[in-house]
Amino acid sequence: MPTLQTKHTIEEAIDTLYADQSFLPELKAERRTQIFESGKEILTTTDKIIKSYIRVSRDNGSVVRIPAYRIQHNNIAGFYKGGIRFSEGVNEEEVENLAILMTLKNALHKLPYGGAKGGVVLDPKTFSDRELYLVSKKYVHRFAPDIGPEHDIPAPDVGTNEKIMDWMVGEYKTIHPGENYLGSFTGKSIENGGACGRREATGKGTFHSYSWLLTQWLRKKVEEGTSFKNPLKQKQFEGLKKLLEKSDQGESITVAVQGFGNVGSVAALEAYHCEELRHKVVAIGDYRVTLYHEEGLNIPRLAEYMKDHGVIPATPEELKLAGIEAELKDRSAILTSDVDVLFLAAIENQITQDNMNEIQAQLIVEGANAPIAQEADRFLHEQGTVIIPDILANAGGVIVSYLEWKQDRVTQLFSEEQVFAEMNNYMVSTFEEVFERYFGRDYETIRKTCYTQAVGRLLSLLYRHGKLY
Ligand code: NAD
């Protein structure tokens, strides 16, 4: 039950803040208890869950009613914000969990947004363009009273893209003639008010969370001769140092990337082209296959193939067509590859109790949301594996969405350079706080550090708005 796990982690973060007398120090004794309990009530419950059915005529003449959701978790930090997913696996529990993660992610990176998520239960690969167009229009029609540029701003997620956002904005404009409509959705095409670099933002940001940790934070700590009293943190520090030394001594850090879509393909390209660290991307995988090559895969060529085919080559014939040399392995092999760094950029719940013992990477970066189940997360952490959690690593997309929403208010486009510079500013200021706090203070895991920081911001806002009593 991922939602229960997320809510439990929020409660733990609130307990940590409760015990920290420097947080909201004016609250004492019974009043402190009451206010923090009230915060728990609010942040572990969801503001609004809307479920509806979208009626669509299929190309074969049949008419289907498809379940669709918009779930708004909390808006204390600003308008609700979060993607819309088109996937067969969509269900209320998953959408709610993703909405909560959005509230936390936005709070962690100090964006002026709350958290929401949407979903439609369909496999977009089995729907024609005409059918997807109808689903998109009807989604907006159904949820129109609950979305808008100053209320709830959706964006693309798994199975949706800029074309779908453009259709959705078109429908929003029709429903609200004469009103501001550009900021009602982000992740649109550039011609339609989208931000330069939005597609690459999450992958670039995910890679940056890892490269910044090694090349900025770690290098500085090594130069300062830092060591940590906590044996686990020292073990993690030593593990990271080995990676940096490997690269500095001319060897390559080996990398595997699960998922080769918007996030994974860009993260893999960033690793391939990175100048500050030497990498070999030895494995990539998608929903069909794992490709492995000990000497490193030709990632630019695979990205080109992906652009044309929507999948990576999965048979000897397809490998030949793509001009790629690789061993073909089954799709789950990617997770247990013998590599230094593993990027998870596919879907939820990939590392679980079933495979956690076989994970070999020293460092795992969560480009996807919630790809590691709770037990596996604890187990890997206790082994000394460093995990850069989703709400820290994959915020590039929502940060650039925020820039898109801002530029749509003044109808003036930021350049790609401005977009990535601003995205990096937001992310680096969060990385600095999180890594410093995790290694330098008593926080148990990097994930808990992130949650505590995010929840601290939300509690403080709730308290100042007079919502806790
Ligand atoms: P995408 O649809 O572009 O790509 C998903 C990739 O995962 C594809 O290569 C697909 O084949 C692969 N995949 C799907 N199921 C798999 C399985 N069972 N095993 C192995 N591979 C599998 O999606 P995306 O936009 O790249 O998003 C990937 C993840 O990142 C999702 O969890 C999403 O919520 C998260 N995320 C995306 C963004 C964004 O801006 N795109 C932002 C934040 C978080």
pLDDT, tens digit, 9 for 90 and up, residues 281-329 = 999 999 999 999 999 999 999 999 999 999 999 999 999 999 999 999 9
pLDDT of residue 1: 66
Instruction: For residue 93, give both structure tokens.
Output: 């529990």
Which of 46-50, 139-143, 398-402, 437-441 is predicted least confidently? 437-441
pLDDT at 7 exceeding the cut of 80: yes
Determine the average pLDDT of the residues in 333-355: 97
CB of 48 shorter than 6 A to ligand 1: no
**Is the per-residue pLDDT at 105 higher than 70?**
yes
| pLDDT classification of 441: cutoffs 50, 70, 90 | confident
| 442 pLDDT more than 80 | no
Stretch 247-271: mean pLDDT, rounded? 97
Q: Rounded to an integer, what distance in angstroms lies between the CA atom of residue 370 and that of residue 367? A: 9
Q: Catalytic residue at 221?
A: no
Please report the pLDDT score of residue 52 as a whole number: 97
State the average pLDDT over residues 4-14. 94
Q: Which atom of ligand 1 is nearest to the CA of 187?
A: 40
| Alpha-carbon gap, residue 394 to 101, rounded angstroms | 11
Taking residues 140-154, what's their average pLDDT? 97
Choose one of 104, 123, 287, 349 to mutate for the ligand 1 pocket test, by most ligand atoms within 8 angstroms of C-beta: 287
- Distance set, CA 177 to CA 6, 83, 149 (Å): 40, 24, 14
Range 21-25 contact pairs with CB under 8 angstroms and sequence separation of 24 or more: 23/456, 23/460, 24/459, 24/460, 24/463
Phi, psi dihedrals of residue 178, rounded to the nearest 5° = 80, 0
This prediction's pTM? 0.95
Mean pLDDT for 222-227 is 96
pLDDT (tens digit, 9 = 90+) per residue, 52-83?
999 999 999 999 999 999 999 999 999 999 99
Q: 50 pLDDT exceeds 90?
A: yes
Q: pLDDT band at 412, cuts 50/70/90? A: confident
Ligand 1 centroid to 392 CA: how many Å?
A: 17
Query: Please, which pLDDT band fits residue 411 given cuts at 50, 70 and 90?
Result: confident
Percent of the chain with pLDDT over 70: 100
Is the minimum distance from the CB of 335 to ligand 1 under 6 angstroms? no
Q: How far is CA 72 from CA 92, 103, 240, in A?
A: 12, 9, 38
The pLDDT > 90 percentage for the chain reads: 97
Residue-averaged pLDDT of the chain: 96
Task: Decide: 287 in ligand 1 pocket, CB within 6 A.
Answer: yes
Check: CB of residue 158 under 8 Å from CB of residue 87.
Answer: yes
Angstrom distance (rounded) from CA 341 to CA 337:
10
